[in-house]
Structure 1
Amino acid sequence: MYGRKLHLVIADDHPIVLMGVRAILQNLPDVSLIGTASNSTELFEMLDARPADHPEQVDMVLTDYAMPGGAFGDGMEMLARLKSRFPDVTLIVLTVLTNPALLSKIVQLGVHGLLNKGSDLNEIPVAIKRVAAGYKYLSQSLAATLEAQSTRPDVDKIALLSKKELEVLRMFLGGMSVQAIADHVRRSSKTISNQKRMGMMKLACANDAELFQLNSQVGLTNIAPPESEPQKRD
């Protein structure tokens, strides 16, 4: 695909993972490791700048999905920014996620490879070779998860929600603000905000617009949560 050495950057906030991946890549004759990053700030700086010792354009990024603390976020937000700002850079994502809805969202975003962190690290060279040749690559375990998910309707995602997450989302979709929900159920706005965020994550909704779109498809507001437990003050 490149006709030369592949210029690659690794991003992961776990030093041991970085060391392991780096050791594997150093044994690949067709790969030139440009550098490593531990968060999105370092990763974007590396892609924006071409240091004197590595003036080459980065061809591929092998990145962890969850790397909190960076200026450009992590997860879906970071991947979307990478796709937008560096469309010519191929992306391989490492993740411990097992939620099929979220995995599907990552694939739909257009990443080129998706690897399970629990798999053998020796799968990484295989993924790099396939992606460099112009193909998509999925870990076998993740491919099986996504295949199973493809046969399930969107409404099945609701089963992933806790009672309180479903209740919070229903009230939010009904027009209540986070603070209004907190006042109504006598909990802190921080708790309600976290429950809303976790619920949206389980439903693979990246923002409020996607949540409202999903509601129009499956009718979240029409699904009454199971009888809830007595609310406790924070």
Structure 2
Amino acid sequence: MPSSTSHTPYRILIGDDHRIVREGLKQVLADAADLHVVAEAASGPEVLEAVQALGGNAGLSAVLLDIAMPGRDGLDVLQALKAAWPKLPVLMLSTYPEKQYAVRCIKLGAAGYLNKGADPDDMIAAVRKVASGGVYVSAQAAEALASAVANTTHQGAEALSHREHQVFRLLTAGKTVGEIGAQLGLASNTVSTYRQRILEKTGTKNDVELALYAQQQAHNANL
């Protein structure tokens, strides 16, 4: 029996225009003592209003967001959420196959992509992972991302200088620009410059995608 006293429960908002889907998600998450659905919304504008009312990442641990939303589609809402609350994890939900939307969602800053047909245990694991600050990628989404990265014209991690590789390893370990600067004895703006070069050379657009890139590199190295 999981204990709900070990830490503060994760506070979740569900954004989906189908009530039956929202009820189903709530029922699945109700089996996890540490996951509490505190709000729900049936349209894009409602999601933004609800997140605003709850104080963004100050009042929420994660947002579960459907791609096909009325009023303002999920990808548009995702961009608005990441612009206003960059640290608020957003797990995208969809009935579409991963190869169609997973890479696009991750490029826009989503912390993961989950098919609505996923097994309930996988769903709970995904929500828990993003709510705790991690990135959830199914095997299919990882494959789609790997294909996208392989098709870029960038040079990849092999082209990184020694210093860039140091910064790359620390970024993908979850260190902030300030923490990396302190560890390597560099000014924050210098680290930011290295970070930009790393994104360009790896063909990635943000820290989430960079972390997935590193994960895929490590996987390939172990094959």
**TM-score w.r.t. structure 1 length?**
0.55
Please name the residue that 2:25 is paired with: 21
Aligned-partner Cα distance in 1 for 2:64–2:85? 14
Give the letter aligned to residue 63 of structure 1: L
| Aligned counterpart, 1:49 | 53
Q: 1:40: how far off? A: 1.2
Unaligned runs of 5+ in 2: 1-5, 154-223
- Taking the TM superposition and a 5 Å limit, the aligned residue runs for 1:57-136 are 57-68=59-70, 70=71, 73-98=72-97, 100=99, 102-136=101-135
Which structure has the greater CA radius of gyration? Answer: 1
Q: Which runs of 5+ in 1 are unaligned?
A: 155-234
Displacement, 1:109?
Answer: 1.6
* Distance apart, 1:133 and its partner CA: 3.1
Letter in 1 for 2:66: D
1:38 is aligned to 42
Q: Which residue of 1 aligns with 2:211?
A: none
Distance in 2 (CA, whole Å) between partners of 1:134 and 1:87 is 12
Identity of aligned residues (%): 29
| Change in 2 beyond 3 A, CA 1:149/1:17 | same
Q: Which amino acid aligns with 2:33?
A: P
Deviation >6 Å, runs of 4+: none
CA distance in 2, matches of 1:126, 1:97: 20
Distance 1:153 1:96 in 2: 27
**Greater fraction of residues in helix:** 2
Residue aligned with 1:28, SS: coil
Tell me: CA distance 1:102–1:58, structure 2 relative to 1, closer, same or farther (3 Å): same
- 1:23–1:102 CA distance, 2 compared to 1 (3 A): closer
